[in-house]
Amino acid sequence: MTSGKTFRGAGWAVTALGLTLASVLISAAPASAQDAAASAPAAGSYTPMKPTPGVGMPVDGGIGLQQQYSKLGEYAHWIHDGVLMPLIALICLLVLVLLIVIALKFNRRANPIASKTSHNTILEVVWTLLPVLILIGIAVPSIDLIAKQYKPAPENALTIKITGNQWFWTYGYPDNGDFEVISNMLNLPGQPTINNGVREVGSRPWDGPSHLEVDNRMVVPAGEPIRLQITAADVIHSFAVPSLWFKLDAVPGRINEKVLFIEKPGVYYGQCSELCGAKHGYMPIAVEALPRAQYNAWVLTHPGGAIDGTKAAAAATGPASDALPAVATSEAAPTESAVDAVAEAE
């Protein structure tokens, strides 16, 4: 009994000494280091989002533009469907009616003696003015759209650097610790391998359509302007996502810049749209827009990933493998609750 008590007493003494030492060390540490420790973000987590069928992707039998998920896209969609198509349809109908009237009323049998009229002032004024007015009606919203498309991003916008390569995309995040994501098309079951070492489409619950889904998506925050800077490493490619009204050429030795604004979270698919070689048809684009908090968590899953200059504790000490940063996450089998959470978020 006595020895037990002594042992326990010694234990307390050691604990107390340890606590004292720790408090001395903490109080001796510089204040900034303490602040950094307190505000250091926890290690990130990420389960890829399951795309909604028909959203941000082509649909079977679709003939119009894809449903738009950006303000600019909605405006352009309205110009196309609300202004241009009705005008073209009306002009075509008018020409068709005139052709039918002429064919029936002024043929040799119905109208044996041809008119010798060569001038009609009112008619000439009308057929000159009417096309001018139509063209002005088209030019006003068109020029407005062009101006809006080239409006630069606000100063504090997140910058993402996109590089086209033969035949994959890389996405750099200079504002978030300058890590890079390499994005390859998933292989197609039962068909020749397109990308060695990349899994097959359909092997994960969040996989989207074949030919469009990739191993590592370009993840972005939704509801805020993003500055996309686009270039290429070898030949000219083109970064195009139809449902986000976004298409910009990726030219070697040159940086093209354009603002991307995605209204709501989701997965949006596109393809390289500049003939760039043998596997041009196999370098799709998958953009995953997440709420800011989830985007931040995704950033922190990457070694070197940082939010506002603060690196994640786990990520900073993680393996120094920048080549395929998201592989570990995407290869891990998702827990049931994680999949449910993604499903609920939709």
CB of residue 242 to Cu ion, shortest distance in Å: 16
Contact 230, 239 (CB under 8 A): yes
CA distance 210 to 272: 15
- Nearer to Cu ion by C-beta: 228 or 276? 276
Q: Provide the minimum distance between the beta carbon of 282 and Cu ion in the complex, in angstroms, as a whole number.
A: 9
Nearer to Cu ion, 86 or 277 (CB): 277
Closest distance to Cu ion from the beta carbon of 322 (Å): 23
CB within 8 A of 251, min separation 6: which ones?
231, 232, 236
Residue whose CB is less far from Cu ion, 260 or 276: 276
> Which residue, 272 or 315, is less far from Cu ion as judged by CB?
272
What stretch of H or E contains 58?
Answer: none
Q: How far apart are alpha carbons 290 and 222 in whole angstroms?
A: 5
306 CB contacts (<8 Å, ≥6 apart)? 176, 177, 299, 312
Beta pairing partners, 226 = 158, 260
Q: Smallest distance, Å, CB 164 to Cu ion?
A: 5
Tell me how far apart the alpha carbons of residues 81 and 86 are, in angstroms, rounded to a whole number. 7
Query: Least separation, in Å, of the C-beta of 246 and Cu ion?
Result: 15
Cβ proximity of 179 and 187 under 8 Å: no
Closer by beta carbon to Cu ion, 219 or else 285: 285
In the complex, minimum distance from the CB of residue 345 to Cu ion, in angstroms, rounded to a whole number: 32
> Which residue lies nearer to Cu ion by CB, 230 or 260?
230
Chain positions contacting Cu ion, by CB under 5 A:
237, 272, 276
